[in-house]
A and B are shown apart, each in its own frame.
Chain A
C-alpha cells in the first residue's frame, strides 16, 4: 500500500504544529527541535516502527540527515516514510539522538558523526566507528580532501589527451598532490616521536551477575586477526567466568571510504565498485545500485535482462546461504567439512558467473537498463543443471546437518530473539524472518520482476541459532523454486539492454533511496544527483553493518563459545561492514 504523504503531513502538523517544515520531493522535512516527539509519535501511533536507514548528506549551506521509516504492520508494509532534517549550522551541527526510540540507530548515528561531524545529543556512546579516534576531519564533508587528491570528479583531466607527465612512474610519484596529508591534532609525523593513541575505553559491563561464581571480570579481545571473526573484525568481550557480560564490536579495519570514492566516480563507474562490498554475493550488490539509479532515471529494463538479473540474484542467494551455513558449522567446531561442501557448490555457480560475465567474483554484470552480456542457450541449459544440483545438495545438507544431535544441543535455545526486538535494532533479512516476521522486500515492496514468480516467505518462531540455520535452508529452497521458474520462462533471443547503453548516462537531479532484498538483509542505496556526471552523494546502507548493531543484545548472557557462533549466525562480510 502506498504511503499518503499528504495525509501524514497533515496528521503530524495537527499533533505537533510546525513539525513538518515542507515537502521536498518525496521527503518530509521535519523540524529538528521536534524530531524526537515526531519519531515517537510515528512509532507508537502511526505504525512506522522500523527505522532501517539513517544517513546524511552535505550541502554548501546545510547538512541534511535522512531517515527511512518502514512498518512491520501487515497493512503498512511496503513503501516507507522518508524523513529528513536540515541543519543549517555546518560548523557545529547537532541533533537529538534517536537511539532511545530505535536502538538500531546507534551504529548509523555513529557513522554520521564519524563522516559528517553531526553530534547526536543523548547518544550513549558517540564515538567514531569506521575511523579511529583521533582522525582529523570528517571525510564525507565536501570540503575534506583525501591524500593524493587530484580532482573532484572523475574523469581526471590529466589522463587524456596529453598527460602532464608522459610516463607516470608509481602511485607515489604520479601525483603532485601527494603532500595532501592531514594529521590529527598534536600528531607528529616523525616516527621517533610517535606515541600510540590511548586505547578505547570499554565498559566491561555489569549487566549480568553470575551468582555463586567467584570469578574475576576480564576483558578479552577477539580479533581483528582471528579466524572466527569473518575477516578483520574485533570484538571486545567482557567476561565473568565464561559468561559474556558485554560485547563491544570494533569495525573499520577494512574501511576505504567507498562512499567518497563513489562520489568521485561516474555513475557507471560505481557498478564494479559495488562488487567489492559484499564479495560473497557480488551479483546482488550491483542489483541494488542499478535498481536505485534506474528509479532516478526512470529507465526501463529489457525483459530478458530482468530474468537474467533474477537468475543471477537468486543463484547468489543460494550460494550465500549455504556458505553461511558452512561457516556457521566451522565456528561450531565441525572443522571444514560443511564449509568445503558449500564451497564445492559455490564453484559451480561461480563457473556460471565467469562464463556469463567474465569474472568469478568481481562480476561487474549489471548495467542501467540491462546487463552487460547475454548468455547462450547452452549456458541456460547448464544453469538448469546447476540449479538441479543445488536442489539435491540442499537436501544433502539437511541430511548431513539438521538432525545432528551435537548441533541441536549447541544451537537450540541459544540467543532467542523476538522479532520486535530485532526490528527495533533495524535487523533485516533471514535473521528477522527466523524470529517470525515475514518481512521480505521482494514481497513487501517488489522490485524487478519478483512479483511474477511464485514463492513463499518462510518464517520460524524463536529466532535462535537453530532457527537461523533452518531459515537459511528454507530460503535457499525458495530461491531454487524461483530459479526453476526463471530459467524456464526467460524469453529467448530478446534484447538485454533497453535504450542505448551509454558510458556517461544522464541522471536527473534529485535524490532516492532504493532497497533490495540482499541475501544478508536490506541493501539500500541513498543517492543524490545534482544533474552532473557523478553522484553528489552515494551512501550504502549495508545490511551486515546494521545487523552487527544487535550483536551485543544477542550475545550478552551466553557463553563465550556461543558468542562466536552468534557472530557467525549474523552472517557478516567485512567488506560491506567497513565499506
Chain B
C-alpha cells in the first residue's frame, strides 16, 4: 500500500470480496537523506510521511491490520546502487524494474510468507492467468492500455506470478477512481505518482551528485569530449550521465542543425552526437532475458518489442544466441533511440513473452 489510489482500491476490493487482508507499506527510501535535493521538504513522493499516513488511514477505514516494513537497505543495494552505476557507465537504467524484481516481488513475498499470507496483491496494471496447456502462469497487458505496466514486470518468475494478484489489470483507471469513491476511500481524489520515487523532480544528475557526495564515493571522472558521428570534436561535456540516447535538449552545444545524443563510450567517456537519422537502429542484443509466459525458445520467434515504456511496440524477430539468456532482436523496421540499459519487452498481442536488458 503506497498510500495512492490504486493500491488502496485493491485492498478495499479484496476486503469486499471477503478475503483476509493484511496491509503492508514498504519503506524504501529515506526522503530526509540529501535534503538539498528537495528544499521544500520531503512530501508528496513515495515513502513520505504523508503517504504512510494515507495508507494507514485507508487500512483503518477498511478495517485491516497494517504495518510499515523497512526495506531501505535492500532497496539501496539492489536498486539505487545499480541505478547510479548504470548512469556512470553511460547507460540509462530503469530502477522500477529492478525494484519489482528484487523488492516488490521478492522481499515483499518473503514478508508475506513471514506473516502467513498466501498471496500478494499490488496496484499494478497488468493481468496474470494460469495456462493449463503449458502449465505456466502468463502475464498479460492491462485492459487499460494507457496504464499498462507490464513493461516494468518482465522480470517476474513463475513462482512469483503464481502467488500474485493484480486486481486492477481488468479495470480502466477512471473505473478504479470511481470504485475508490464508491468505497469512500480518503485517497480517492489523490493525484497519480509520476517520477521515479527516490529522484526528486526527475533530476537524475543532481541526485547522482548528491548521492556520490553523501556516500563519500569519489565522483568518477566521467567527463570527456562531445564528437559528431563524422568525427568532429564539438567541445567537452560534464559527465556521461547527463546524456541519454535520443536526447536533443540540454546537450550544451549550439550548432546549426539539430543534434541528438547517439551513443556514449564508457571507456573513453566520449559522447557521440549527430543528426536524427543516426538514431535509427535495426537490431540489438538483449541480455539476462527472462521468459515469462513461454519457455525459452530454441528457434527464432516473432514478437512485437517495446524498447522503452512509452515506445509503440514494433514487429521483430527474436533470435536465440549461443549464450543462454542472450537474444538478438531484429526489427522489421528500424526503431528510434535503442538505449542501452533500458528494458526490451517481448509481446505476442497482450501476452508478455519475456524481456531483457538492452546491451
Q: Do A and B come from one complex?
A: no
Chain A interface (Cβ within 8 Å of chain B)?
A: none
Chain B interface (Cβ within 8 Å of chain A)?
A: none
